[in-house]
């Protein structure tokens, strides 16, 4: 079948030997997935998930038993008092913005102790001027740069906590930076440190791409709120839209009042028939995340064998599903993305081209052929066309598709003459 799909025997052989070297690593990933599968199953059984919960509601959505079951299941898996899980949350940025706006008031300050926040949050906060930003509402922002080795500068954090510091925004994943991703444990250390200085501060974690990578979530380590997108890990590839906020009852209530309206909160929000997808997606999320993780580790090992720098390195611990590879030239970046696109189940016949995306200084090239538009738990890759020509990629609903995508990308690099010879 690999030959049928355009993979040469040499790339098949190389992949086989790479895979052989990763057996122990894959077993570890599978053991975490097994644990998380049982965690989700337990939450579904405990909350007596039943067929009637899948019924569609429309209009106001009062007394939506299925929606309430979904939120209790999320709360149980994240070990939080409460959860807000809604298709009306349009994306990860919307979930994060909802949480930020819900918890701060004019005069308050938000602190990011782990360097810059995710690109789209810069406009939410008003670091880049934007209509309706928190800055317009009189909320200030401060950030502490990480130390040169990528670790948290605890001294700087201590100095940055002010009397009006209300909320700490901690981004777990590196996103499009080259800093390390933080483990829930490290995030927990940071939260304890900050709460000792100012106990009433709210610690919120941007958990995007981190869900189910390990057995614990940041909410197991003292986060007041964890926030993420359903078209990433927790949607399991089946959620067509949505976001979640899990946390203390006080925080989740405030977020619900912000999302709908003061006085309404969680009581409204029709499920529009999406609950089967949201429930089943959450059920599949641990194994889907494991597939994405295996794909990332495999890709790192493969590209290291071809002489490219990978971040994280293939042997490093992982706390999210993102893999970066330094490809070194525009040709290599385009070839990589062409390969990922050609491997997709949807839109495999198109060729990705760089384009000037709003909000970016350099042209960006993206590859994605997904069942859910823009879903990045499905195999996808992108990178800005600027040195050192890093490609960032993530996802893979199944390990076999992820593996094929990486093989296809290598084939493309060979075709483009970027890779001249495979290691023996
Ligand atoms: C994806 C992501 C977001 C939110 O992005 P959306 O595209 O709005 O879903 C926020 N933070 C991080 C770290 C992310 O990876």
Q: Are 327 and 203 within one domain?
A: no
Nearest C-alpha to atom 12 of ligand 1 is from which residue? 208
Nearest C-alpha to atom 2 of ligand 1 is from which residue? 208
Q: Are 320 and 295 within one domain?
A: yes
State how many domains the chain has.
2
Give, for ligand 1, the residue of 121, 175, 322 to mutate: max count of ligand atoms closer than 8 Å to Cβ: 175
Separation of 118 CA from ligand 1 center, angstroms?
7
- CATH code of residue 411: 3.90.1150.60
Give the residues across from 142 on adjacent strands.
Answer: 111
Q: Is 245 a member of any domain?
A: yes
Residue 250 phi, psi dihedral angles, 5° rounding: -60, -45
Task: Say what percent of the chain tops pLDDT 70.
Answer: 100
Q: Is 424 a member of any domain?
A: no
Give, for ligand 1, the residue of 120, 123, 181 to mutate: max count of ligand atoms closer than 8 Å to Cβ: 120
Three-class secondary structure of residue 324 per DSSP: strand
Q: How far apart are the C-alpha atoms of 314 and 323, rounded to whole Å? A: 9
Nearest C-alpha to atom 5 of ligand 1 is from which residue? 92
- CATH code of residue 116: 3.40.640.10
From the CA of 93, give the closest atom in ligand 1.
Answer: 8
Q: What is the pLDDT of residue 360?
A: 72
Mean pLDDT of 340-348: 97
Separation of 139 CA from ligand 1 center, angstroms?
22
Q: Is 4 a member of any domain?
A: no
Nearest C-alpha to atom 6 of ligand 1 is from which residue? 92
Q: Are 264 and 297 within one domain?
A: no
From the CA of 374, give the closest atom in ligand 1.
Answer: 7
From the CA of 94, give the closest atom in ligand 1.
Answer: 8
Q: Are 237 and 325 within one domain?
A: no
Q: What is the pLDDT of residue 246?
A: 98
Q: Is 185 a member of any domain?
A: yes
Q: Are 263 and 370 within one domain?
A: no
Q: What is the pLDDT of residue 357?
A: 78
Nearest C-alpha to atom 3 of ligand 1 is from which residue? 92
Q: Are 69 and 117 within one domain?
A: yes
Q: How far apart are the C-alpha atoms of 391 and 11, rounded to whole Å? A: 20
Q: Are 119 and 234 within one domain?
A: yes
Q: Are 191 and 297 within one domain?
A: no
- Residue 300 tokens read as 């790192």
Q: How far apart are the C-alpha atoms of 412 and 142, rounded to whole Å? A: 44
Q: Are 207 and 77 within one domain?
A: yes
From the CA of 174, give the closest atom in ligand 1.
Answer: 13
pLDDT band at 359 (very low <50, low <70, confident <90, very high): low
Q: How far apart are the C-alpha atoms of 76 and 184, rounded to whole Å? A: 17
From the CA of 209, give the closest atom in ligand 1.
Answer: 15
Ligand 1 pocket at CB < 6 A = 91-93, 96, 118, 120, 171, 173, 175, 206, 208-209, 229
Separation of 345 CA from ligand 1 center, angstroms?
24
Separation of 303 CA from ligand 1 center, angstroms?
26
- Mean pLDDT rounded to a whole number for the chain: 96
Cβ–Cβ contacts within 10 Å for residue 156, how many? 14
Mean pLDDT of 319-328: 97
Q: Which of 233, 235, 231 is nearest to 214 (CA)?
A: 233
- Tell me the per-residue pLDDT of 281-302, one tens digit each, with 9 for 90 and over: 999 999 999 999 999 999 999 9
From the CA of 229, give the closest atom in ligand 1.
Answer: 9
Q: Is 249 a member of any domain?
A: yes
Q: Which of 243, 261, 236 is nearest to 83 (CA)?
A: 243
Mean pLDDT of 150-154: 96
Q: Are 272 and 409 within one domain?
A: no
- Tell me the per-residue pLDDT of 32-74, one tens digit each, with 9 for 90 and over: 999 999 999 999 999 999 999 999 999 999 999 999 999 999 9
Of 215, 242, 276, which residue constitutes the final position of a domain? 276
Of 230, 256, 276, which residue constitutes the final position of a domain? 276
Q: Is 227 a member of any domain?
A: yes
Separation of 126 CA from ligand 1 center, angstroms?
17
Separation of 248 CA from ligand 1 center, angstroms?
22
Give, for ligand 1, the residue of 187, 206, 229, 241 to mutate: max count of ligand atoms closer than 8 Å to Cβ: 229
Q: Are 227 and 332 within one domain?
A: no
Q: Is 212 a member of any domain?
A: yes
Separation of 207 CA from ligand 1 center, angstroms?
9
Place of tokens 């053991």: 31
Q: Is 420 a member of any domain?
A: no
Of 276, 299, 315, which residue constitutes the final position of a domain? 276
Separation of 120 CA from ligand 1 center, angstroms?
8
What residue numbers bound the domain in which 332 lies?
9-37+283-415
Q: Are 193 and 222 within one domain?
A: yes
Phi-psi region of 57 (alpha: psi -120 to 50; beta: other; left: phi over 0): beta
Task: Say what percent of the chain tops pLDDT 90.
Answer: 96
- Tell me the per-residue pLDDT of 368-397, one tens digit each, with 9 for 90 and over: 999 999 999 999 999 999 999 999 999 999
Question: DSSP characters for 25-94?
Answer: HHHHHHHHHHHHHHHHHHHHHHTT--GGGG----TT-TT-HHHHHHHHHHHHHTT-SEEEEETTS-SHHH
Burial of 23 (0-12, 13-18, 19+ CB in 10 A): exposed
From the CA of 231, give the closest atom in ligand 1.
Answer: 9
Separation of 313 CA from ligand 1 center, angstroms?
23
């Amino acid at each position: 079948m690999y030959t049928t799909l355009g993979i040469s025997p040499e790339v098949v052989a190389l992949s086989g030997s790479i895979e052989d070297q990763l057996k122990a690593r894959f077993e570890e990933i599978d053991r975490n997935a097994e644990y998380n599968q049982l965690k989700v199953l337990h939450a579904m059984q405990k909350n007596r998930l039943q067929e009637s919960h899948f019924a569609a509601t429309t209009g106001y959505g009062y007394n939506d038993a299925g929606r309430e079951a979904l939120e209790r299941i999320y709360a149980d898996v994240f070990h939080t008092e409460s959860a807000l899980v809604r298709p009306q949350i349009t994306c990860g940025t919307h979930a994060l913005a909802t949480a930020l706006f819900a918890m701060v008031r004019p005069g308050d300050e938000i602190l990011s102790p782990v360097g810059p926040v995710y690109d789209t949050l810069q406009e939410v906060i008003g670091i880049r001027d934007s209509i309706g930003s928190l800055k317009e509402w009189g909320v200030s922002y401060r950030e502490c740069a990480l130390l040169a080795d990528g670790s948290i500068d605890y001294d700087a954090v201590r100095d940055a906590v002010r009397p009006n510091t209300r909320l700490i925004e901690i981004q777990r994943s590196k996103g499009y930076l080259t800093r390390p991703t933080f483990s829930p444990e490290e995030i927990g250390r940071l939260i304890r440190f900050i709460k000792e200085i100012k106990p009433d501060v709210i610690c919120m974690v941007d958990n995007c791409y981190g869900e189910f990578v390990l057995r614990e979530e940041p909410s197991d380590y003292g986060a007041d709120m964890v926030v993420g997108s359903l078209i990433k890990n927790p949607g399991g590839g089946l959620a067509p839209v949505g976001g979640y906020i899990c946390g203390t009852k006080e925080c989740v209530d405030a977020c619900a009042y912000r999302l709908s309206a003061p006085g309404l909160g969680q009581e409204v929000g029709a499920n529009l028939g999406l609950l089967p997808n949201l429930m089943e997606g959450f059920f599949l999320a641990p194994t889907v995340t494991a597939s994405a993780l295996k794909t990332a580790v495999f890709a790192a090992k493969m590209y290291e064998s071809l002489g490219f720098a990978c971040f994280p390195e293939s042997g490093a611990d992982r706390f999210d599903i993102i893999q970066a590879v330094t490809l070194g030239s525009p040709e290599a970046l385009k070839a990589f993305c062409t390969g990922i696109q050609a491997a997709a189940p949807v839109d495999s016949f198109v060729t990705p081209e760089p384009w000037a995306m709003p909000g970016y200084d350099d042209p960006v090239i993206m590859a994605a052929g997904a069942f859910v538009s823009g879903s990045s738990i499905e195999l996808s890759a992108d990178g800005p066309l600027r040195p050192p020509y890093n490609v960032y990629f993530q996802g893979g609903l199944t390990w076999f598709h992820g593996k094929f995508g990486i093989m296809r990308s290598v084939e493309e690099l060979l075709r483009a003459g970027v890779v001249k010879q495979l290691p023996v």
